[in-house]
Structure 1
Amino acid sequence: MIKGIGIDLIELDRIAQSLKNSDRLAKRVLTENELEIFYSFPLETRKVEFLAGRFAAKEAFAKAVGSGIGKLSFQDMEILPQEGNAPVFRATGYQHNRIFISITHSRDYAAAQVVIEADNTMHN
């Protein structure tokens, strides 16, 4: 059973401008594991895409949950690549849910969609 659906879109320019000043946004949005991946990219454009995609995905998750960022921390959500580089979303307190995620980039935008499915084996 679907518990929530969320989507978010962000301009890459906004992220690029923020990164020109400092990496504060990256440290706020990304977990330690995600930061390790972020810092491994040699090209600034790839760093922007990565951070924007993670930002959009975490915002989309918060929308799917219905709480928004604020009640959820960016640090409570993590998106790491699995086999074939497909992103896998994990969130504290949502281990008993299946979380489907899609992240995409264009020249100007990053977008993400999240679907949260309740675990049918859970009995309430």
Structure 2
Amino acid sequence: MKFFLLFLVIFPASEIGLFLLSANWIGVLPTVLLIILTGFLGAALAKRQGIEVYHKVQRDLQYGKMPGDAILDGLCIFIGGMLLLLPGFLSDIIGLLLLFPATRNRLKPFLSRRLKKMSEGRRVKIIK
């Protein structure tokens, strides 16, 4: 919990610092336009990938497979899309990492272990 509170202070402060650096480097208007552009591009990319994952879940269910991997992809895409909609360069970078399949596939094992650990610690209840 201490780390979460520390994160709530450091992350926004870092975003503000990057906004100021960007405004000094490329100007205020280009910085604002860049933030808006990443929001729109992130929403479009998340929508497209979300539809692909939805179809993958349907295929898995048709063939009688549990769509665990596809659901984890969907979770990553949802979080990545939300991060891209937030104004900020750090959140955009993390959001893009979660949206691109190559980097998402590298992050999924960590996320899977984390979710499993949370469910074993009874912080998350998985209903079967």
Structures share a fold, TM > 0.5? no
- What TM-score results when the alignment is normalised by the length of structure 2? 0.28
- What TM-score results when the alignment is normalised by the length of structure 1? 0.29
Larger C-alpha radius of gyration, 1 or 2? Answer: 2
Whose helix fraction is larger, Structure 1's or Structure 2's? 2
Which structure's relative contact order is higher, taking Cα pairs within 8 Å and 6+ residues apart?
A: 1
